[in-house]
Amino acid sequence: MDSSHIQTSDGVSIRFLGHNCFVIDDGSTCVITDPWFSNSGAFLGSWFQYPPNQHLAAEVRHLLTVREALIFVSHEHSDHFDEEFLSGLPAGTSVCTARYDDRYLADRLRSMELSVIEVEDGDSVTLGSARVTIFKVESGIARDSAALIEMGEVRFLDQNDCKMFDRLDVVPRPVTHYAVQFSGASWYPACYDLPQSERVRRARDLTANKVRNVGAALRELTPAVYLPSAGPVVFPFLPEDFDADPAATTFIHQPTLAEQLSSPEATRVAYLRPGEVLSEDVGSEPILPPSRADIEAYASRVFDLWSTFDDQLDRAQLLREVEARLELMVGHDLGEPPLIEFVWGDARADRLLIDLSAGSARFGESAPDGVEVTIIRAAERYFQLLASVDRWQEVVHSFRARVSRRPDVFNNAVNLFLYSDKETLAASLRGVASDRFEVTLEGRRYQLDRRCPHQGADLSHGVMEDGCVVCPRHGWRFDLSDGGRDARSGTTVNAVEVEPPTRQ
């Protein structure tokens, strides 16, 4: 990686190294974003980089020896926070991240003897010729950050999968280059027991919302170049039927983005392959999705980490972990959440019934008929990992479970129980304080809560569609004619019509 890679008129190059890893480099200073090169993937060996980029890790290690370098780690998800790679870097390597209330990421980085720079939301750090400004989202289960990287004439906004579409107005202009996720990253609806046609419909709606958010961001930021990134990934060790029908998941590939994206004429979309430097000569064609043969070949070249974990469940250990979480939920208003069942076999004893309202968990019981319940079915290995790992999100994001809901309605308390970490569960349950704002629909004025009950997005930055205020992050639709209720989750933003003043 020498001066021959410099492409821009002021000597700054942008090189893509796969997934969300970019190198912004002027020959003396470089900033490296979210390096992920692990040969064992992410989320306990479930997600893998596509196209493969593991061969580029050595180039980054070399770059650290010849540049004044800063690594930006956006958040703790293991497709962005690659502990295998980072732990092998020289002690004292400079790494910056947002200053999160949750200390997990910073503590883990410091345990690797890296020089950790924590940056408050909206503040900057300078190293050599680079200035990096951090924008943080920390609400509910969401902890993520974006970085505006300034070097020479380049002003590169790396949003990765940070859901800050509702606050792009805080980013200083201009933005010359923009990288943001376009593909999904959720177990819904792919892991849910739904009719195939319904799974396809819901995946299509979620994908459309994601692409719409990207298009709206491009129109707001008007960058010269958009660089699709942070996905998609592939799943070489998951059952083949997980993504046998790509239309039933939200992990879309670049051709779908190219078909659906509405972007400004002045913005070029550059589809870079791992190792390519941005120039006028590369990135014109989307990367095609892999075939089943490609996936099988990939599996033969990487490490199946999942198969190495203990496949015998320690029930007492699982119960202790569940009860510790239940204790953290005591005293919080959970509403009337459904029961939760963990199921790992066919025998009656192969299940754990969890009652969030009562704060109890019992083996060998099932939810009575007619009672609302969310059922998680997986192998013993899955639940043993829940009993033993630091962060449950790592297990949930493995996509190694099947989920069914009776009725099929989202519940935030269940979501927080399954996704939150013990260190953040209580804070997540407290939610985000919400003031009120006003919208006008067909000449009628409504007041509603400003913050989305899902993850605290600012709904004043949402769009109006078919009588609904649509959340700018995840597309929840709050129907003004129904008191601001989102039909899928049953949550509400308490919309009320404002009566016009009475004429005297």
Quick one: pLDDT at residue 432?
A: 59
Nearest to 187 by CA among 432, 472, 459, 410: 410
What amino acid is encoded at 290 in this protein? P
Q: Give the pLDDT score at 2.
A: 38
pLDDT band at 449 (very low <50, low <70, confident <90, very high): very high
206-223 mean pLDDT:
95
Residue 7 in this model has a pLDDT that exceeds 70: no
Q: What is the pLDDT of residue 142?
A: 85
Lowest mean pLDDT: which of 154-163, 341-350, 393-402, 492-501?
Answer: 492-501
Map 176-205 to HEC letters.
CEEEEECCCCCCCCCCECCCHHHHHHHHHH
Which two three-digit tokens encode residue 443? 């000449």
Which contacts qualify for 452-457: CB closer than 8 Å, 24 or more apart?
452/476, 452/493, 453/412, 453/489, 453/491, 453/492, 453/493, 454/140, 454/412, 454/489, 454/491, 455/139, 455/140, 455/141, 455/142, 455/163, 456/139, 456/140, 456/142, 456/431, 456/432, 457/163, 457/165, 457/166
Rg for the chain (alpha carbons), in Å?
23
Number of helices (H) and strands (E), helices first, in the chain?
Answer: 11, 27
Q: How far apart are CA 159 and CA 180, in angstroms?
A: 5
Check whether 5 has a pLDDT greater than 70.
Answer: no
Question: Worst-scoring range by mean pLDDT, 6-10, 381-385, 388-392, 485-489?
Answer: 6-10
Question: What pLDDT digit, counting tens, does each position of 64-98 carry?
Answer: 999 999 999 999 999 999 999 999 999 999 999 99
Question: Is 491 a residue whose pLDDT tops 70?
Answer: yes
DSSP assignment, residue 224?
Answer: S
Res 500: pLDDT = 66
Closest by Cα among 390, 405, 388 to 340:
405
Find the mean pLDDT for residues 207-234: 95
In this structure, are residues 340 and 359 in contact, taking their beta carbons and an 8 Å threshold?
Answer: no
**Residue-wise pLDDT tens digits, 297-349:** 999 999 999 999 999 999 999 999 999 999 999 998 898 999 999 999 999 99
| pLDDT of residue 502 exceeding 80 | no
Chain segment 404-439, per-residue pLDDT in tens: 999 999 998 999 999 988 888 888 887 656 689 999
CB distance 179 to 272 below 8 Å? no
Which 3 state secondary structure label does DSSP give 403?
Answer: strand
pTM for this predicted structure: 0.92
For the ranges 10-14, 276-280, 419-423, the lowest mean pLDDT is seen at: 419-423
pLDDT at 3 over 50: no
Mean pLDDT of 435-463: 89
pLDDT for res 141: 82
Note whether 200 and 208 are within 8 A (CB): no
Q: Is the peptide bond before 189 cis (omega within 30 degrees of 0)?
A: yes
Tokens of 340: 């939760």
Task: Look at residue 463 and tell me whether its pLDDT is greater than 90.
Answer: no
Q: What are phi and psi of 247, to 5 degrees?
A: -70, -15
Comparing 25-39, 167-181, 232-246, the range with the smallest average pLDDT is: 232-246
CA 464/CA 467 separation, integer angstroms: 6
For residue 52, whether the previous peptide bond is cis, meaning omega lies within 30 degrees of 0, is: no
pLDDT band at 490 (very low <50, low <70, confident <90, very high): confident
What domains can you pick out in the chain, each with its CATH number? 3-183+216-230+263-301 (3.60.15.10), 315-429 (3.30.1050.10), 432-497 (2.102.10.10)
What average pLDDT does range 432-458 have in this prediction?
86
Residue 503 has pLDDT above 80, yes or no: no
What number is the average pLDDT over the span 128-152?
94
At 8, the pLDDT band (50, 70, 90 cuts) reads low
